[in-house]
Structure 1
Amino acid sequence: MNAVIGVDLGSNSARAVAIDPSGKVLGAATGAYPGAGGWPAGRADPRAWLAGVVEAVTALGERITGRPEAICVGGQSPTTVPVGGGLAVTCRHPAGVTGSPVEQHHAQRALLGPDAEPRQVYDWLMARLGAGERQSRWPGDPSLEGYGRRAATGEVIGLTDGGRGLAEVFGARGGRGGYPSPGPGEGYGLPAGVPLVAGAQDAYLAFWAGGIDTPGRALDPGGRTGGLAVAVASSAAHGDLYTLAGPARGVDIVGGPVSSHGLMLEWLTMVTGRPVPELLELAGAVPHGADGVIVLPYLEGERAPRWNRRLRAEIVGLGSGCGPGHLARAVLEGAAYGLRSIADSLPVPLDVLVCAGSPARSPLWCQIKADVLEVPVEIPAETDLAAYGAALGAGAGAGWWPPPGAAPGGSWPRPPVTVVEPAPRSVYRETYRRFVSLGDAAELRMTDKESLCPTP
């Protein structure tokens, strides 16, 4: 069976997806990060990430037959790993977070010290599997000084060199837990000679997999953060908009990331003691507009469109008749209002929104986003678009299709989708106006010395 493997190194786990030349998903698996609960804020043990990747690929090997044609790893970014050992600095660390991704990487490098040799997290992982010390970069992204020799997303950067451990996955089906023990270049047991392909950060891979390659198509990558990315013609004037090269030739991406959409729901599970499925069920029983309850989802400040890290989350409109369902509904709606505020800041049309990540698994949340943004929402059958996008990168390395930036829109497979049609509502339009006004007021109240909670 012809298959390539893509791996997304997420905030909470690694997810591996195998696809065939038609783009059909042949299998998917996840891997946990041992000891993640004890990591300092904004730091992580990269050995645990490697263990998660090994576990995910091991489990995936149980579901496919034959050896993979190529492997590509992408994921969270900006995140920097010191080659010589020690904790990595993750994208959730405040170092450089108010700057560009390149500035954030360099701030992370400075935090590690002048003698540290830095690598992007997925490049560090690929080097452990047998690739050369390279710097995977999406088309149009500037190079990172000191992070290794540049390689384009979809470019083969090495071969697995064998070793013990995962070889049994494609043979005797063995496995092990905990941290993998081999050193750099020992392959962690993958069969020797499998091409290793340069990846990219998770959002870029999700743009690719979601087909955000035609002007007017947009994506919310979901996860703990989220955001809005809209495809526009490269020939259009973008002004000062946050812009990057799209996956298709002649297409750019504008928009921006947010800080805490999925994280707000995680926070609510913590304070209520109710699991996410229960909160979603309770939210479904609350009227549109949450009976006037509004959540500003700024637990860790906000990126687009306010770009103010000192903002903090607020809950407005609580009454004695409100319960966990009202809070849950307001969190779901607040995330949708946040996306709408980005859309309204862009002088470009939005025709359809692709929802990805764990939030896409909630029909209620997807319907709220469709209603608030007043556009159809596509829900991919494979919601981890970053892993699917990494598989597209592996397929490019295997020669199945062009790398990003080398072909027009529609040149790559994408997962099948379910379409949710919008039902615009006046209560959402009015509550959205209040959401924006409350955010404006929150910024006006702030002074240089104010912060309701310590900055994480």
Structure 2
Amino acid sequence: MAAQKPVPTRTVLIIDVGTSSVKAVLFDEAGHTLRSADAPVVTQVPQPGWAEQDPVTWWKATADAVRGLAIDDSPIAIALTGSMQNVILLGREGTSLRPALLYSDARVTTAEIEALKAQLPGDFEARIGNRAEPALCLFRLDWLLNHEIDTMGKVERVLFGAKDAMIHRMTGRAVVDPTCATTTGLLNLAERHWDAAILGAIGLSPAILPDILDADALAGPLLPEPASALGLKPGIPVYVGAGDGGATAWGTESERHDRPHAYLGTTGWIAATMPYSVAKPPRDAYTLAAPVGTDVIVISPFLAAGLAIDWFANVTGRPVGALYASAEAQDANPPGALFLPYLIGERAPFSDRAVRGAFFGLDRDHAPEALAYAVLEGLAHAIRDNLDALPIRPATIALAGGVAGSLTVAHLIADVTGARVTVPSASRIVTAYGAFRIIAPIIGLMPKSVMPESVAAAEIGSATKVGGRKKKAGGKGEKRANGGDETVVEPRPERAKRAARRFAAYREAAGHARALAAALDPAL
């Protein structure tokens, strides 16, 4: 009797086009990670305050990451996620006309922003469901219309998500998901379509904008030429996926209304999903359309999370993992130094591109280890500061992103917010997992409701790996839950008064930093 052939494993390829790297993750049908790989992406700063990346480098990093998976059998689907609020200009045949302007690009002056705001409809903020803050794509589009008119005259398509540029390369179709579309300042949030009155105010034709499709919609089949570059077979269905804010909500299961999530990657945010009627936009925090369905995600984003850790690692000449380990050692007897993470200005809970970071309470006895702890504590304060902008008081916060690799951060967030903090076993690929969860029902898969433990084995830097060694959960205030799928960190009652006192100092220090910004500006 002939031996039966093994049934091939159905797999899904998720590509996460982030600010610092492109991650490629191969999931099986249950949501277990089979393989993962990443490739770096570099941000260019042509002038102070500017931030650009070339979509050509995104594609190269995408090809490198996907080929790094050494995929044997074709996945049944591809979906993407990645950074939002970029301005990407495409000419004929999809060629990039100039480097993309990133969400952190601050080239537009206050005067230019105010001049455009005066031309916008009087109910502009009600239309977009958000405040007219500088990071909206329309302000950078207006800058391009005013400063690079020749380039804008050649534009065939404008895209707003890094992953959408890759989808266009892979399928030839220009698309955007609702979450990413909300960040442009061009979307009517209540009706979920491009707003004609706003487009008319800045002289932008709707013909060059991408199609707004739900994150679980099919963008198209993978074309032969990009398939060859990726080492895949043509024809694989490519799904729209979601911008990182939406995908992370699904990856942490915070599409549930009682479970907000905090994300600490290069940048950071805290976000909660709720009905539009509860959010009541516009509000001081961002309100984004959920990637699927009719809910919205209220998200309060800040500019420096992992960026602050990387900066301090570069200043001290120490690896990031070593800083996490040294900060952990400080936790038993916390230092007094206080850190403001405003290294490139701030976006929320206040918008101020001029404010800059600072250490307060420095002592001659403070070694780099103490300051590393202060940097992590500063991120916890930023989470609490932004949490206060949301219309919720959660009992639990799900923590995701590369900085979640230090459980010291989870403890500090629990202390300062008073909420239980859960850390998925694979926090660094939780955004990719969210993109997987979004499309799984459409392609007939039923993943487990919580990220499986086996993900950690293949993850790019496990959430419980600290300082180059495996950190076992079970320290004071820590426990494993959901069959080992996440670490749960409880607030420490003995730290409550200290946390409240230092958070009050953080807010007061932020006010002083803002007042001093003009006096400290090196350009003046």
Please classify the TM superposition score into its range, dividing by the shorter chain length: 0.7 to 0.9
Question: What is the aligned partner in structure 2 of residue 176 from structure 1?
Answer: none
Q: CA deviation at 1:88?
A: 1.6
The residue identity in structure 2 corresponding to 1:362 is: S
What per-residue deviation string (whole Å, max 9, x for no partner) do you get for residues 99-120 of structure 1? 3645356347546642233223
Report the TM-score, using the length of structure 1 for normalisation. Answer: 0.84
Q: Do the aligned residues in 1 keep the contact of 2:104 with 2:303 (CA within 8 Å)?
A: no
Q: CA deviation at 1:283?
A: 1.5
Tell me, in whole angstroms, the C-alpha distance in 2 between the residues paired with 1:133 and 1:198: 10
Identify the match of residue 192 of structure 1 among 234, 245, 263: 234
Q: CA deviation at 1:382?
A: 2.2
Q: Does 1:48 align with 2:57?
A: yes
> Can you give the 5+ residue segments of structure 2 that lack an aligned partner in the other structure?
1-8, 114-132, 188-192, 195-205, 453-484
The worse-fitting range, judged by mean Cα deviation, of 108-117 and 344-353 is 108-117
Identify the match of residue 93 of structure 1 among 92, 105, 117: 105
Q: Does 1:30 align with 2:38?
A: yes
Tell me, in whole angstroms, the C-alpha distance in 2 between the residues paired with 1:388 and 1:321: 44
Q: CA deviation at 1:24?
A: 2.1
Question: What is the aligned partner in structure 2 of residue 218 from structure 1?
Answer: 260
Question: What is the aligned partner in structure 1 of residue 313 from structure 2?
Answer: 269
Question: What is the aligned partner in structure 2 of residue 171 from structure 1?
Answer: none
Q: Does 1:76 align with 2:83?
A: yes
Q: How does 1:431-446 map to 2 (within 5 A)?
A: 431-446=502-517
Number of equivalenced pairs: 421
Tell me, in whole angstroms, the C-alpha distance in 2 between the residues paired with 1:46 and 1:237: 34
Cα pair distance change 1:418/1:247, threshold 3 Å: farther
Question: What is the aligned partner in structure 1 of residue 244 from structure 2?
Answer: 202
Tell me, in whole angstroms, the C-alpha distance in 2 between the residues paired with 1:248 and 1:370: 30
Q: CA deviation at 1:313?
A: 0.3
Identify the match of residue 209 of structure 2 among 147, 168, 171: 147
What per-residue deviation string (whole Å, max 9, x for no partner) do you get for residues 299-319 of structure 1? 011111122111100110111
Q: Do the aligned residues in 1 keep the contact of 2:43 with 2:52 (CA within 8 Å)?
A: no
Question: What is the aligned partner in structure 2 of residue 128 from structure 1?
Answer: 169
Question: What is the aligned partner in structure 2 of residue 329 from structure 1?
Answer: 373
Q: Do the aligned residues in 2 keep the contact of 1:375 with 1:422 (CA within 8 Å)?
A: yes
Q: Which structure has greater helix proportion?
A: 2
Q: Do the aligned residues in 2 keep the contact of 1:283 with 1:328 (CA within 8 Å)?
A: yes
Question: What is the aligned partner in structure 2 of residue 59 from structure 1?
Answer: 68
Tell me, in whole angstroms, the C-alpha distance in 1 between the residues paired with 2:318 and 2:277: 49
Q: CA deviation at 1:411?
A: 9.6
Give me the identity figure in percent: 27
Q: Does 1:392 align with 2:437?
A: yes
Identify the match of residue 138 of structure 1 among 166, 175, 179: 179
Q: CA deviation at 1:395?
A: 2.9
Tell me, in whole angstroms, the C-alpha distance in 2 between the residues paired with 1:395 and 1:208: 11
Tell me, in whole angstroms, the C-alpha distance in 2 between the residues paired with 1:79 and 1:114: 16
Q: CA deviation at 1:450?
A: 4.4
Cα pair distance change 1:417/1:285, threshold 3 Å: closer
What per-residue deviation string (whole Å, max 9, x for no partner) do you get for residues 220-275 of structure 1? 12111101112334442535423223467564322410011211111111111111
Question: What is the aligned partner in structure 1 of residue 499 from structure 2?
Answer: 428
Report the TM-score, using the length of structure 2 for normalisation. Answer: 0.73
Aligned-partner SS, 1:138: helix
Cα pair distance change 1:101/1:397, threshold 3 Å: farther
Of structures 1 and 2, the one with the larger relative CO (CA 8 A, separation 6+) is 1
Q: CA deviation at 1:324?
A: 0.4
Question: What is the aligned partner in structure 1 of residue 138 from structure 2?
Answer: 103
> Can you give the 5+ residue segments of structure 1 that lack an aligned partner in the other structure?
168-179, 181-187, 402-409
Q: How does 1:371-382 map to 2 (within 5 A)?
A: 371-382=415-426
Aligned-partner SS, 1:310: coil
Q: Do the aligned residues in 1 keep the contact of 2:179 with 2:288 (CA within 8 Å)?
A: no
Tell me, in whole angstroms, the C-alpha distance in 1 between the residues paired with 2:143 and 2:165: 15
Aligned-partner SS, 2:213: strand
Cα pair distance change 1:292/1:78, threshold 3 Å: same
Q: Do the aligned residues in 1 keep the contact of 2:357 with 2:513 (CA within 8 Å)?
A: no
Q: CA deviation at 1:147?
A: 2.3
What per-residue deviation string (whole Å, max 9, x for no partner) do you get for residues 18-56 of structure 1? 2233222222211234xx376635111211110111111
Tell me, in whole angstroms, the C-alpha distance in 2 between the residues paired with 1:287 and 1:8: 33
The residue identity in structure 2 corresponding to 1:49 is: W
